[in-house]
Amino acid sequence: MSGDAWLRRATWPAAAVWLGSWYLMRLEITRWHHVRPSLLLDPPEIPGTGRRAHPGVPLLLLYGACAVAPPLAVAGTLARLRRAR
């Protein structure tokens, strides 16, 4: 499978991950307050210890999805447009 074909097939899943990851990031910022609006981590303090929790794998994967999905979706769309010519 060529690179363009792979990109064209990945467009819709990448767009879905893009929308879902940004929705979850909005919840992290506005509802759960694990992340600041500047996208810096702001984990809650552990009661009675004075220490803060470290980000877990789900939050790190969310950051990765927010960074990787948009360029992948755009590249897939551009590959489709180039193929349509």
pLDDT per residue over 26-66, tens digit each? 999 999 888 888 888 877 788 899 888 788 899 999 999 99
| C-alpha neighbours within 13 Å on the C-beta side of residue 38 | 3
Show the tokens assigned to 73. 């979706």
Confidence of residue 20 (pLDDT cuts 50, 70, 90): very high
Predicted structure pTM score:
0.81
Whole-Å CA distances, 82 to 13, 24, 51, 56, 65: 19, 32, 52, 40, 25
d(CA 54, CA 65): 19
